[in-house]
C-alpha cells in the first residue's frame, strides 16, 4: 500500500471504551455519545478503504468502481447517520441506517461472489428504470409523428451515455429483466454472507421507515388522542442500538474488503486494529444491554 494509505491510518484515533466508565452511565444519551465516537472511527476506516485506488493507474475499472462506489456510499451514509444522531432525530437515523446496512450487505456479497457475470447482472438491474424511461420518451416522440423536444434529446443522450459508461448499449437492456440482481433479495444476500442474524434483529423492519408505512406513521408521526389521531411534529431522541449495529456490520465488511485487496498482508497491524475496533463496539453494545437490563420496563 502507498505511504499515504498508512499515513491516513495513523491519523485515526481509537475511540476509548472503558467498561468501568460505561458502568457509571446514567442515560442513553451517554451511550449515544460513545456510539458517535465509535461511528466516527468506523467511518474513517471506510473513507480510507474508499480511497484505496490502484497504485498503477489511480483509476478504477468498471468492476472495481462497483466496489469503490459502495464504499463511498457507505461512508456518506455513516456521515449522515452521525449528523442525524447529533441532531437528535431518531426517525431519520432509522431510515439512513437501513440504507447503510443494505449497502454493507451488498458490498460483502460482491466481495464474496464477484464475477463479470454478477457485475453485469447488478448493472442490468440498476438500469431497468432508465430503459423504461428511454422507451417512454421514444413512444411519446413516435406519437407526435417524430417531433422531438429538446429536453427529450437531452434525456435520451444522458441515458445512452450512462449505459455506455456501464459497458452496455441502451438497446440491449431490458426494462423488466433481471427481476433482482444476483437472483436474491436483501435478506437472502445477507444470509449468504453471514449477516442475516443482524438483519432479523435490527433491520428487517427498516423498510417501513424508508417507505413511510403505517407502522412508521403510528410510531413516530402520529399521537393517539381520544378516538382518533393528531400530528406528532416533535423529533424522537435517537437510541444507541442502531448506530452500534451499523458500526459492527461496517467494521466486519470493511475488514472483508481489506482482506480481499490483501491490505492485511501489506500493512502491519491493520487486521489487529480492525479486530480491536470490532471488540470495542461489541463491548459498548454489551454495556448498553446491561444498562437496559438494570432498568425495569426499558428495552
Q: Are residues 75 and 223 part of one domain?
A: no
Would you state the pLDDT for residue 29? Answer: 96
Q: Are residues 72 and 33 part of one domain?
A: yes
Establish how many alpha carbons lie within 13 A of residue 68's alpha carbon, considering only the half-sphere containing its beta carbon.
14
Q: Are residues 215 and 75 part of one domain?
A: no
Residue 213 in any domain: the answer is yes
Indicate the pLDDT class of residue 6, thresholds 50, 70 and 90: confident
The values of phi and psi at residue 222, to 5°, are -135, 150
The packing angle between helices 62-86 and 28-50, to 10°, is: 160
pLDDT of 56 above 90: no
DSSP character string of 25-60: --SHHHHHHHHHHHHHHHHHHHHHHHT---TTTSS-
Residue 171 in any domain: the answer is no
Residue 136 in any domain: the answer is no
pLDDT digits (tens, 9 = 90+) for 103-156: 999 999 999 999 999 999 999 999 999 999 999 999 999 999 999 999 999 999
Contact 244, 203 (CB under 8 A): no
pLDDT digits (tens, 9 = 90+) for 76-116: 999 999 999 999 999 999 999 999 999 999 999 999 999 99
Total structural domains within the chain: 2
Q: Are residues 285 and 213 part of one domain?
A: no
Domain that holds residue 223: 207-236
Q: Are residues 218 and 242 part of one domain?
A: no
Residue 269 in any domain: the answer is yes
Residue 57 in any domain: the answer is yes
Residue 177 in any domain: the answer is no
Q: Are residues 195 and 62 part of one domain?
A: yes
pLDDT digits (tens, 9 = 90+) for 13-24: 999 999 999 999
Amino acid at each position: 500500500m502507498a505511504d499515504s494509505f498508512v499515513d491516513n491510518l495513523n491519523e485515526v484515533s481509537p475511540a476509548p471504551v472503558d467498561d468501568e466508565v460505561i458502568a457509571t452511565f446514567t442515560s442513553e444519551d451517554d451511550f449515544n455519545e460513545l456510539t458517535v465516537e465509535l461511528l466516527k472511527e468506523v467511518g474513517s476506516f471506510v473513507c480510507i478503504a474508499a480511497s484505496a485506488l490502484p497504485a498503477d493507474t489511480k483509476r478504477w475499472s468498471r468492476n472495481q468502481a462497483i466496489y469503490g462506489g459502495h464504499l463511498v456510499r457507505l461512508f456518506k451514509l455513516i456521515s449522515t447517520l452521525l449528523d442525524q444522531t447529533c441532531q437528535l432525530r431518531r426517525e431519520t437515523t432509522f431510515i439512513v441506517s437501513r440504507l447503510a446496512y443494505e449497502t454493507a450487505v451488498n458490498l460483502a456479497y460482491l466481495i464474496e461472489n464477484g464475477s463479470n457475470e454478477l457485475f453485469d447482472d447488478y448493472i442490468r438491474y440498476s438500469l431497468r428504470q432508465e430503459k423504461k424511461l428511454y422507451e417512454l420518451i421514444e413512444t411519446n416522440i413516435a406519437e407526435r409523428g417524430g417531433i422531438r423536444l429538446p429536453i427529450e434529446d437531452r434525456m435520451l443522450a444522458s441515458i445512452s451515455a450512462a449505459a455506455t459508461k456501464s459497458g452496455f448499449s441502451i438497446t440491449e437492456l431490458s426494462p423488466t429483466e433481471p427481476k433482482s440482481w444476483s437472483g436474491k433479495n436483501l435478506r437472502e444476500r445477507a444470509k449468504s454472507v453471514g449477516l442475516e442474524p443482524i438483519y432479523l434483529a435490527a433491520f428487517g423492519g427498516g423498510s417501513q421507515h424508508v417507505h413511510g408505512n403505517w407502522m412508521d406513521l403510528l410510531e413516530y408521526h402520529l399521537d393517539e388522542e381520544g378516538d382518533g389521531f393528531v400530528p406528532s411534529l416533535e423529533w424522537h431522541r435517537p437510541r444507541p442500538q442502531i448506530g452500534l449495529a451499523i458500526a459492527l456490520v461496517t467494521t466486519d465488511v470493511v475488514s472483508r474488503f481489506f482482506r480481499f485487496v490483501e491490505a492485511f498482508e501489506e500493512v502491519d497491524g491493520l487486521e489487529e486494529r480492525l479486530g480491536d475496533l470490532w471488540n470495542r463496539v461489541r463491548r459498548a453494545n454489551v454495556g448498553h444491554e446491561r444498562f437496559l437490563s438494570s432498568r425495569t420496563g426499558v428495552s
